[in-house]
């Protein structure tokens, strides 16, 4: 398992981690298998989506905001919106590994999703044959 350190600079932010994940796959020496990317946090997530037009991550963040229900949360920390979005978006993704690389589509990138930053975060990458 490889740990990637991610530094967010805003409360909500999408941070591309594709290159770091591909490096972890390369360094694992696994030619064919699965790459599991996991976020061990309760107010963050990981998603795969278009990393070509910078408007896409901006639009996604704006759309995520509309999912937060207008209810009275009980959690005293005041960040239940972030806990909620973390459960909706999910804390892991799995990508097939072919020829020693995570087999992403042409336009796909792997994004760490900060939902309650700014913070220093960790992402766990496990590559298995």
Residues that bind Zn ion (CB under 5 A): 77, 79
Q: Which two tokens stand for residue 43?
A: 């107010």
Residue where the block lists tokens 């770091």: 20
Residue 127 burial (CB < 10 Å; 0-12/13-18/19+)?
buried
The count of C-alpha atoms lying within 13 angstroms of the C-alpha of 102, restricted to the half-sphere facing its C-beta, is 25
Q: Which is nearer to Zn ion, 49 or 79 (CB)?
A: 79
Between residues 11 and 36, which has the closer beta carbon with respect to Zn ion? Answer: 11
Residue 84 C-beta: closest distance to Zn ion, Å: 10
Closest CB 55 distance from Zn ion, rounded Å:
30
Cβ 44 to Zn ion shortest distance, Å: 12
Is the Cβ of residue 71 or residue 99 nearer to Zn ion in the bound state? Answer: 71
Distance, CA of 91 to CA of 38 (rounded, Å): 6
């Amino acid at each position: 398992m490889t740990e990637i350190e991610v530094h967010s600079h805003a409360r909500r932010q999408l941070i591309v981690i594709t290159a770091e994940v591909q490096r972890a796959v390369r360094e694992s020496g696994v030619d064919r298998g699965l790459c599991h990317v996991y976020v061990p946090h309760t107010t963050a997530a990981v998603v795969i989506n278009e990393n070509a037009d910078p408007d896409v991550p901006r639009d996604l963040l704006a759309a995520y905001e509309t999912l937060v229900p207008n209810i009275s949360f009980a959690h005293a920390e005041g960040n239940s919106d972030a806990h909620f979005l973390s459960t909706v978006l999910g804390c892991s993704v799995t990508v097939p590994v072919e020829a020693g690389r995570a087999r992403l589509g042409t336009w796909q990138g792997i994004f760490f999703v900060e939902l309650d930053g700014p913070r220093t975060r960790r992402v766990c990458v496990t590559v298995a044959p």
